[in-house]
Amino acid sequence: MKKHLLSALIVAIVLCLGVFAQSNERFLVNEAVRSFDFIVAKDGTGNGKTIQSALNSAPNDGSRFLIFVKNGIYEEGVSVTRDKVSIIGQDPDSVIVRYHSNNGVSSTVAALIVNGNHFYTENITWQDPRTQAQANQAPAHLDKGKYNAYKNTRFRGQQDTEVTGDNGLQYYHKCYFEGTVDFICGGGTMFFDTCTLFCLGAEVGRNNGSVICAPATRAESPYGYVFNRCTIKGGSGQSGRLQLGRPWKNAPRAVYLNTIMEALPTREGWADMQTAPALFAEYRSVNAKGDTVNLKNRKKDYFVNNQKVGTSQTVLSAEEAAEYTLENVLGKDWSPLSITKSTDAPRISLENGTLIWDTVEHAVSYVIFRENEMVGFTTEHSFIPPFNDSAISYTVRAATEYGALSAISNAVIRSGISASVQISENTDLGVVFYANNGTLYLKQLPQNALVELFELSGQKLFSQRAKSSEMSIPAQGLVIVNVRVAKKTQSCKIFVD
């Protein structure tokens, strides 16, 4: 991205301390500096207003196509037919894609349909907005591809919210699934890691117990649906009535490992449907208090039209559960953790009105935010905001080659021609400082904090206990501010014009 030429009139220097954690997870090694290929913005500030317009513009050259979606509600059905696409949302609370599917599990349109391979998405809510009274089957997402990964993504619907393909191979990390009946259903091999499974209840007109999954695993597949470290939650009237799953067709498999059951299933746990499962089992299920759930009465025998059609093991041993590793389930040829892994957050500061930061390992580009609005991308380690700001905060997030975003950086406040001042979210106290028009402003002050202002010579200019979380102090020139609570001190050197 081209840099804007902008000279700063006044420089402010802030000295703040902070630390951030390092990660030991590995990335892929074929990284190259690059930016996002297409920006989707509902308000017209991007390259297009719909996600589908971005997909339609993608060249068929075998490269990964990176799409960034700004906050907004998008009323569209998205169809991914190309391999190697990443759709990255700004925030799952604020990037919402809504669309009505047209034919249940055989839908050809939905909020998201993926027929491509090596697909990745994060930070987006995909939703079929119909109510229980409007439609029984309402998929929000259908995925028939392989080697597809999802992180921090939400799927909201009623019946059949999430439909998986017969030959699918997918990984879901910290995702949210919501529905009523069979809201995760289909074939393939799926690994759900640290996800939330929310059973809708009376609040949407569901008076019976919801059913989480309905696998249709093919006989040759040894794993099917694997739920690892997931949390089951429920709406009104669901605890004690919901069911973990029922066998749809073929040789269904589903296991729940290390599950937190904030909403409990029935004593039997499972239900009949159209066949007998190859395996419906649990390992180390606990309730909301961490107490072991009693599995002695889990369903073993399965019936169709009152005729017994088979039995299933209900509890896995520790040795059996240990076989359900990510590598065993999804294979050695694919490393989904390398796709979903984020970098460390950048550590940013201000110099002469320019945002600067050190190189973040494994980052290929950086996303710039102004008061939570995405305003630019860069592959450099600096950015000159093209705005004459007054007390406006900036943050930066690093992006990997798959588009996975880091946590938000510390914030800096750029105060127009009066001052430019750095703040930090990683100090002992987290106080925000900035200066404008002869006044020093402090925000996020701890209760009863002692605020002291000094000249560089050491002469004290001001001393007062904070009576609220904000304070303003008339000042001029280069001063030092100390904020003290108990034995903790946050200090800041700042120029006030």
Rounded to the nearest 5 percent, the helix, strand and coil shares of the chain are 5, 40, 55
Q: How many CB atoms lie within 10 A of CB 371?
A: 12
Which sequence spans correspond to the domains of the chain?
78-336, 348-496
Instruction: Please tell me the predicted confidence (pLDDT) of residue 206.
Output: 79
* Spatial separation of the C-alpha atoms in residues 61 and 44, rounded to whole Å: 27
Identify the segments of the chain with pLDDT beneath 70.
1-32, 131-135, 386-391, 415-428, 456-458
- Strand 120-122 with 146-151, pairing: parallel
Please name the residues in contact with 418: beta carbons below 8 A apart, sequence gap of 6 or more.
10, 390, 435, 436, 437, 497
Please name the residues in contact with 368: beta carbons below 8 A apart, sequence gap of 6 or more.
355, 374, 375, 376, 377, 378, 383, 385, 394, 395, 396
Instruction: Please tell me the predicted confidence (pLDDT) of residue 205.
Output: 75
Residue 479 near residue 440, CB atoms below 8 Å = yes
Instruction: Please tell me the predicted confidence (pLDDT) of residue 420.
Output: 39
* Spatial separation of the C-alpha atoms in residues 454 and 448, rounded to whole Å: 19
Q: For the domain bounded by 78-336, which CATH number is listed?
A: 2.160.20.10
**H/E element, 121:** strand 120-122
Instruction: Please tell me the predicted confidence (pLDDT) of residue 372.
Output: 87
Which candidate, 33, 110, 95, places its Cα nearest to that of 66? 33
Name the token pair of 150: 């999802």
Question: How remote is the C-alpha of 122 from its chain's centroid?
Answer: 6
Strand arrangement of the beta sheet that strand 439-443 belongs to: 432-436, 439-443, 471-474
* Spatial separation of the C-alpha atoms in residues 80 and 112, rounded to whole Å: 8
Query: Please, what's the b/e burial string for 316-349 (b: 16 or more CB within 10 A of its CB; e: otherwise)?
Result: beeeebeebebeebbeeebbbbbbbbbbbbbbbb
Name the token pair of 244: 């973990």
Per-residue pLDDT tens over the stretch 298-333: 999 999 999 999 999 999 999 999 999 999 999 999
